Chains A and B, each alone.
Chain A
Amino acid sequence: MLRVAGDLSITAGLVVLLFCAYLLWGTGSYTARQQILLQREFVQKEKTALGPIRLGGAVAMLKIPRLGDDYRYAVVEGVDPDRLRMGPGHYPGTAMPGKIGNFVLSGHRTTYAAPFNRIDELQPGDPLVVDTREARYTYRVTDKRIVDPAEVDVIAPVPGRPGRKPAKAMITLSTCHPEYSAAQRLIVFGELDERRDRLERPE
């Protein structure tokens, strides 16, 4: 009897370990597959005129040179769990890329390819490159903050000042903090620095 209980405990421990491995590495393969589809969809859409954006569709392509030359994610529309499994998500209702207001993105820190795992390494002045169908917008990091999960002010049109009318195009990235925890959120702010109209399809 005791023997069986011991065997079961060891088995449970191994299963939990395997589950942790799955969360860290297994979930990424789903995101990788979805990203291939989204990026393909994005590049195809490029040929057509600006159409309506549907939930789950690719809104833009995000590149962060500080996190590597190959750092490139298709941003999906929506931040519900299903969307965030596909890649970084754009909060519906917040500004679109390059527009006056706050372009708010959310991404996983440790699971599902962990697109925002290393955004804590971003320094003020670092470029956040957002490619859309009509232009390439380069934002520059201005600030980083660690906030309570309930602090919705950070996604206001003027971050931290809800109700204020925006005059600038801002970007806000959010992910969980500390790593592997749900206790807080890590927020990175940026401001639009440059807009270059697109003549060709993104490379």
Chain B
Amino acid sequence: MYGWIWRALPGSLAIRVFTAVVLAGLAAVVLWYLVFPWIEPRISLDPAVVGR
């Protein structure tokens, strides 16, 4: 999968490394700011109260 993406990236090695880093960063940002905040309240972790 990653091999296929890597080969599909255009340009020289430097440009491909740069694009790969940007894509990975973009995926991380989407997870951190959109996916995780949405998922976290739906799974109850770190409960602090007694009796529920």
Binding site for B on A (CB under 8 A): 3-4, 7-8, 15, 18-19, 22-23, 26-27, 30, 79, 81-82, 84-85, 91, 106-112, 116, 147, 149-152, 154-155, 174-176, 180, 182, 185, 187
Contacts and interface: CB of A to CB of B under 8 A. Distances in A.
Contacts of A182: 44-47
Contacts, number: 77
Contact of A174 (B37, B44, B48): B48
Contacts of A109: 46, 48
A2 to B, nearest CB: 11
Contact of B50 (A7, A108, A154): A154
A55 B46 CA distance: 21
Contacts of B11: none
B28 A18 contact: yes
Contacts of A151: 50-51
Nearest to B44: A81
B49 interface: yes
Contacts of A85: 41
Contact of A26 (B32, B44, B49): B32
A149 B45 contact: no
Interface string B12-52: 00000000000000001001100011011100111111110
8 contacts: A7-B2, A22-B31, A22-B40, A82-B41, A111-B45, A149-B47, A182-B45, A182-B47
A116 B32 contact: no
B8 interface: no
B3 interface: yes
Contact of A176 (B3, B41, B47): B47
